[in-house]
Structure 1
Amino acid sequence: MTLPLASVQLYTLADELSADPAGSLERLAAMGLRTVEAFDFVRRPQELRAALDAAGLVSPTAHAPLLSDELWTPDGAIPTPAPEVVLEAAATLGARTVIDPFVAPERWATAEGVDDISERLNTLVERAAAFDLQVGYHNHAQEFVASFDGQTAYERFVARTDPRVQLELDLYWAVVGGQDPVALAASLGDRLLAVHVKDGIAPAENPFRPGAERFGSDALDQRRPGEGEVALAEALRAASAVQYAVIEYDNPPGDVFADIAASLAFLRDGGLAR
């Protein structure tokens, strides 16, 4: 199996990227990274593409909402444009797969809600193909709260989406959702395009469960790879077709660039990514 490419989700250094886009990307390139995963690119695709080109970086995967009118994140809500606007921006950016990063917990609480999410994403497969793009979904932990007929909401979603819909498995959030990340990664087979490589200690209870208070990223106990409870190496080895090992921190434990460098060393020194 060809090792996946190491990448980094730019949300990890959102503040640094906002303050100094060119300098931040150049620092990533200086670490030996060649691949990143863009976020919040729809309002500035040409600007971000130029900065990536200047740093010698590409963003084959990119996060943008496709399934919600407003995207809630732990750190604030983002209004969302129409899917065609997102797809056109992704094509300008040079992405190959647009990944929806978050669908609200209440929409995963019923079988009908899960089926609606699946159907909406299925309808985007051909629309994305017109832009020479694919679409995908990135999990948090709300997808593992409800179960229907012996399947988690996430499993139901996977079973009901077009096989061309790509999956990005966030290994930390899968653990927060009470899942075995190794078994889950193995079960997704060729659908699994990318994983988010993120370690830490899971909260005592799923923060996306019904009735839970909303939280900020600074409440998460995230750590450098190998210092938490997520079986990252085992999950990566179980992922038979994964193409991108995407470094991410919602709450970096220290200096964000040092944390990214530590994650990159974990991947490359461990023979888990190139």
Structure 2
Amino acid sequence: MTRVALSTSSVYPESSAHAFGYAASLGYDAVEVMVMDSLSQSITAVEQLSKHHGMPVASVHAPCLLFTQRVWGTEPWHKLERSAEMAKAVGAEVVVVHPPFRWQKEYARDFVNGIAALEESTGIAFAVENMYPWRASSKRGMEMYLPGWDPSDESYANTTIDLSHAAIARDDPVAMAERLGDRLRHVHLTDGTGSAKDEHLVPGRGSVGAAEFLRHIARTGFRGEIVVEISTRKAATREDREKDLAESLEFAREHFFANASG
């Protein structure tokens, strides 16, 4: 059954420990651990946080962002293996991963086959996330990912749609979901306005069509995880952050569960 989870990145600059606390107090179903701060890098710490708050871990987001390039070392396949190890230990079935940067040529060379091999050897679904062309202002984008930013162009068995990334790419997320079909395993619920910035807005505050997207995947039988991944860095107070997290949860439940088939 589909759950609504909270990404630990949604409470930054507060810690992963705070994310578990917010998720529990607001009524989220689970947490996605973004491997980033020291707590999120420790299997033991994540297990303890999950148990203490009664919050299951739905998924693990591998440390493949620009600013996490040195988390768990610099060898990318090792990072994915560590992510799968954490996922197994905490009972998560999904590892979220970004496609390689274009300068990671050796990693990118066999990325599609390597992901399939990891899924076979670990039993964990590696849900490859949609990214976007890098662009300044309204200028034409530059391809910064290999083999590409759109996972529907490749043969991945499991994929993630991130609505903020779709907004930057100016790609219709409903159309992407249709292209992916049952390979869509995971959703990062957020929003964007189509600017060149990765905004990660509260869903409903942008123009990507988050409500329509949720209604679409509900009607077409989506059974994966919906993870709220918003930016609350500009929240003036913890109360403001909490309001944004609560609004995002309510948005997910209103537009997905009211339209879910079966």
Bin for the TM-score computed over the shorter chain: 0.7 to 0.9
Return the TM-score normalized by structure 2: 0.76
RMSD across aligned positions (CA): 3.0
- Deviation for aligned residue 1:135: 1.7
Return the TM-score normalized by structure 1: 0.73
CA distance in 1, matches of 2:9, 2:21: 16
Percentage identity across paired residues of the two chains: 24
Structure 1 residue corresponding to 2:115, chosen from 101, 106, 121: 121
- Deviation for aligned residue 1:272: 4.1
**Number of equivalenced pairs:** 235
CA distance in 1, matches of 2:58, 2:22: 19
Which structure has greater strand proportion?
1
| Contact kept? 2:8, 2:31, Cα under 8 Å | yes
Equivalence for 1:141: 132
Write out the 4+ residue segments of structure 1 that deviate beyond 6 Å after TM superposition: none
Structure 2 residue corresponding to 1:236, chosen from 210, 214, 221: 214
- Deviation for aligned residue 1:44: 0.4
Ranges in structure 1 where 5+ consecutive residues have no aligned partner: 66-70, 147-151, 206-218
Indicate whether 1:195 and 2:180 are aligned.
no
Letter in 2 for 1:228: G
CA distance in 1, matches of 2:152, 2:175: 15
Point out the more displaced range, 228-237 or 133-142.
133-142
Letter in 2 for 1:25: F
Query: Any residues of structure 2 matched to 1:5-154 within 5 Å, and which?
Result: 5-17=3-15, 21=17, 23-40=18-35, 43-65=41-63, 71-73=64-66, 75=67, 77-81=69-73, 82=78, 83-101=80-98, 103-106=100-103, 116-129=110-123, 133-142=124-133, 153-154=148-149
Q: CA 1:259/1:62 → structure 2, altered by over 3 Å: closer, same or farther? A: same
CA distance in 2, matches of 1:158, 1:89: 27
Relative contact order: is structure 1 or structure 2 higher (C-alpha 8 Å, sep ≥ 6)? Answer: 1
